Structure 1
């Protein structure tokens, strides 16, 4: 019942925040899409390849979305600044559409089963601008999708765009060799293990419980940071002076490097660790000469 109350309260919050945003822009027809959505849970690094026809389409409107029905609610907010990059805008819309499709599949399944439990299914997704420079743009997607159970499914994605090349910048582009991922993995693991120890120490647990918790959570850290680019596909550029970067902030959703209760975790990796392994074409992003 508590979750049901919170969900109905969410409807009021979504309407209060998003309806004014929707009023800012008149309804106009949306351009037809000629490609299918990326698989739910996929990442920008999975590499959606735009067709020539798609590249000629106008940019999506990226209009905020509010849907309120008796058994579900959807709230999606977009940053208006992303509209200036049509290819990027399509990626944001594609991700949101895939997540909404996941929600609606669960809604329809529950309707067919007739198993109404009084809970309100919902999708809450917000895109925010992380960086907007002439040579590099980044946006974050954060939210939850609730389709029953004790809590919702966390939604977390990062989109890093190269305006001059009109394409996404993926982890594999930045660090092309295995030894680079090993170095990044080692650094990130050390930071996460240190943070884990500090959290456990703050709880003042008995020695046996502490050891068990550290072992279990430590195993999740090691598995979630195995030296593979797909484990580090969600990253944010860290802006420095001018248009150079001081490093990358790698972001990990719940369950990748810790239990749900630990929430989203992130580790900032400085340029000094990254640069020896960055592909020459992208070293200029960090203020270093290609070589």
Structure 2
């Protein structure tokens, strides 16, 4: 009369073993891969980080726009979304405090701040993004500034601009190449434009490479970066009326400066 419970226990063990085997079958594992046309699995990082953010109050209007390319780097996506939304919310709160404590806004429109990320070139190991900020808090025009992100996909972390180069490095060659590119663009826009130099000597001077945001420049060789594209905000090398500058420096100008860990990410010329 004790055989039946024992047989039941054996049967349950067999069923558990069979279920475990079935879970390991290739056809079951394949079900986790979306079929063509089906939605891809969204990671927690992606779910917490939309591609845009917008908020409007009587005191401030703020917007964040992220590129679709960022979805390939979910950790960076989540990090950038969170940090920039905090930035925009702080701006909006500051706008309200600023305008209410001043005793009114005199009929001025709301303050405005826009942050937009756009992709630079991408290699097997490196992912780059340009950050453009436009901010209006009254006055004749908005203020604009740039930033950049370099992401090491293998290490899954952001690297500083200086990490791209050997240490110690004499950056003179790259600084001079950047300055030459800025002056060439100035002359293209206006043949009579005032040139700038690294030493100054006029109202404006060339910035150095490491103090200027840059992204990777697309290459004529697939999967490589053909140079660096530098982002120079208004007022850096000329009056506001000149606007901003986006100039590229080819690999030949700084090839010897690249750190060994990233030398293989560069090749070819700048793709136009």
Shift of 1:240: 3.0
Distance 1:164 1:177 in 2: 21
Residue 13 of structure 2 corresponds to none
Distance 1:220 1:185 in 2: 19
In the alignment, is the contact (CA less than 8 A) between 1:189 and 1:221 conserved in 2?
no
Relative to structure 1, the CA distance from residue 184 to residue 215 in structure 2 (aligned partners, 3 Å threshold; closer, same or farther) is closer
Residue 166 of structure 1 corresponds to 156
Count of equivalent residues: 220
In the alignment, is the contact (CA less than 8 A) between 2:121 and 2:225 conserved in 1?
no
Matches within 5 A, 1:107-256: 107-118=96-107, 119-177=109-167, 179-201=169-191, 219=202, 222=205, 224-226=206-208, 229=210, 231-256=211-236
Distance 2:264 2:135 in 1: 38
Distance 2:238 2:89 in 1: 26
Distance 1:160 1:249 in 2: 12
Residue 35 of structure 1 corresponds to none
Deviates more, 1:67-76 or 1:158-167: 67-76
Distance 1:265 1:178 in 2: 28
Which structure has greater helix proportion? 1
1:259 to 230, 233, 239: 239
Deviation string for 1:132-162 (max 9, x for gaps)? 4442222222241111111112142221211
Deviation string for 1:157-192 (max 9, x for gaps)? 221211111112322111234654211111111222
In the alignment, is the contact (CA less than 8 A) between 2:234 and 2:242 conserved in 1?
yes
Matched, 1:71 2:59: yes
What's the TM-score once normalised by structure 2's chain length?
0.69
Shift of 1:200: 4.2
Matches within 5 A, 1:1-80: 58-59=45-46, 60-80=48-68
Relative to structure 1, the CA distance from residue 250 to residue 63 in structure 2 (aligned partners, 3 Å threshold; closer, same or farther) is closer
SS in 1 for 2:226: strand
In the alignment, is the contact (CA less than 8 A) between 1:175 and 1:181 conserved in 2?
no
Unaligned runs of 5+ in 1: 1-56, 203-209
Unaligned runs of 5+ in 2: 1-43
CA RMSD of aligned residues (A): 2.8
Higher Cα radius of gyration? 2
